[in-house]
Amino acid sequence: MDDKKTQFACAGCGATNRIPVDRLTEEPVCGRCGKPLLDGRPVELADDNFDAAIEASPLPVLVDFWAPWCGPCRAMAPAFEQAGRTLKGRALLVKVNSDDNPRLSSRFQIRSIPTLVRMHHGQETHRRSGAVPAQAIVGFAGV
Ligand SMILES: [Zn+2]
Residues sharing a CB contact under 8 Å with residue 91, sequence separation 6 or more, in sequence order = 59, 60, 61, 62, 141, 143
Q: Buried (b) or exposed (e) across 47-60, using 16+ Cβ within 10 A?
A: bebbebbbebbebb
Q: Buried (b) or exposed (e) across 90-104, using 16+ Cβ within 10 A?
A: ebbbbbbbbeebeeb
CA of 84 to the centre of ligand 1 (A): 20
CA of 43 to the centre of ligand 1 (A): 16
CA of 27 to the centre of ligand 1 (A): 13
Catalytic hit among 10, 13, 30, 70: 70
Asked if 70 is an active-site residue, the reply is yes
Total Cβ atoms within 10 A of residue 69 = 9
Q: What is the pLDDT of residues 13-44, one digit of tens each?
A: 999 999 999 999 999 999 999 999 998 999 99
Is the whole model's pTM more than 0.85, yes or no? yes
Q: What is the pLDDT of residues 112-142, one digit of tens each?
A: 999 999 999 999 999 999 999 999 999 999 9
CA of 37 to the centre of ligand 1 (A): 7
